Amino acid sequence: MLFEGLELVSALATLAACLVSVTLLLAVSQQLWQLRWAATRDKSCKLPIPKGSMGFPLIGETGHWLLQVFSKIFSHEALESYLPKIQLVIQDTLRAWSSQPEAINVYQEAQRLTFRMAVRVLLGFSIPEEDLGNLFEVYQQFVENVFSLPVDLPFSGYRRGIQARQILQKGLEKAIREKLQCTQGKDYSDALDILIESSKEHGKEMTMQELKDGTLELIFAAYATTASASTSLIMQLLKHPAVLEKLREELRAQGLLHGGGCPCEGTLRLDMLSGLRYLDCVIKEVMRLFTPVSGGYRTVLQTFELDGFQIPKGWSVMYSIRDTHDTAPVFKDVNVFDPDRFSQARSEDKDGRFHYLPFGGGVRTCLGKHLAKLFLKVLAVELASTSRFELATRTFPRITLVPVLHPVDGLSVKFFGLDSNQNEILPETEAMLSATV
């Protein structure tokens, strides 16, 4: 236990050192960049140069422009077009989980699921299954070394991460070229389509390197945190069968479960999901109690007071999402999993500002939050409609917070498929169904 504690402290210290170093480097480089542009003003002219930011070195305000394009990627219209594809990916995954004779590691499989969702749905890539599996393994190596110390030595995590990134970009470039050459038969515009079209609307043709970087960023945004939240959702439904049954009752009441079976394969709509009030409460409570990331960093734009102390302009500060949720006075019994706290009758999250911020807050709130919530809602509906699942170990695993919240050694669960009357599908029937998929 002592050594585990020391390893956690060491990992947190390394992560903090990396984040501080990167923050300081960005701050210094931006200030030098501002001075560089200020020095170019025409001294013979008395007029000042325009106010505003010059962005960061080399990339300028490209990041801001990309953020405007991400807003299109996660618009209501875009989410509506993604929904049938997301549902089909989840259905295929749950069917595969149920066909396994042994228990599965939910966290590992949730990572595969969110990776598949990003590649198949967000990017619209038609990568063969074997190649997709190999790409996932390389991507995992890349993610595991993202927060390595920037020391480029043989066998270092940094070197492994760079090598994985190079292999990834090679595979992504092949997929992008194939996608650009095959434009027939598409029934929706995916995120990469929107990114390309938006750049053309702004008079800018994206280079292959920009496309690869944008593609990798979209996968990264949809991967780790969504896998974490998906695992937490399954764990809480296992711990609280009454919540799962209440969720099924809501599905029946809304006509999404007829005689125990779900008739809505591939036909879910956003308005259907928005009408499921209890489902929304369940997802909110999962995100309150098991927020995937600890918090975020911000730069103080104007000196302000906090509990009698001044926080000077220019300081880098960290806000903690988990501490905020744990100490917010509006939440009662904060350690209890209680979806009804978000019901219309109680609405604990409405009693004040900034008590509930699983996706951050302000102008820099997570752009993909609506996609993440949509994915979790569809997963919950499919779990409640088509699966029975049980813990395969005697006790639930411990939780670790690094790099994102997830169960230590995963979460071992056995899944069983259900027929239209919520009866367990026999193994021989499951094998036949799997063979036809």
267: exposed, middle or buried (Cβ count in 10 Å: 0-12, 13-18, 19+): exposed
Nearest to 161 by CA among 180, 186, 174, 142: 142
Nearest to residue 213, comparing CAs of 155, 169, 259? 169
In angstroms, the CA 11 to CA 5 distance is 10
CA distances (Å), 324 to each of 224, 354, 358, 437, in order? Answer: 22, 8, 10, 45
**Known binding-site positions:** 366
Structure tokens, 159: 């070197």
Instruction: Supply the DSSP string of 415-433, one letter for each residue.
Output: EEEB-TTSPBPPHHHHHHH
Which residues contribute to the annotated binding site for heme? 366
134 token code pair: 């190999």
Q: Are 325 and 331 in contact (CB under 8 A)?
A: yes
Question: What's the rounded Cα separation, in Å, for the pair 215 and 168?
Answer: 10
Per the CB < 8 A criterion, the answer to whether 116 and 93 are in contact is yes
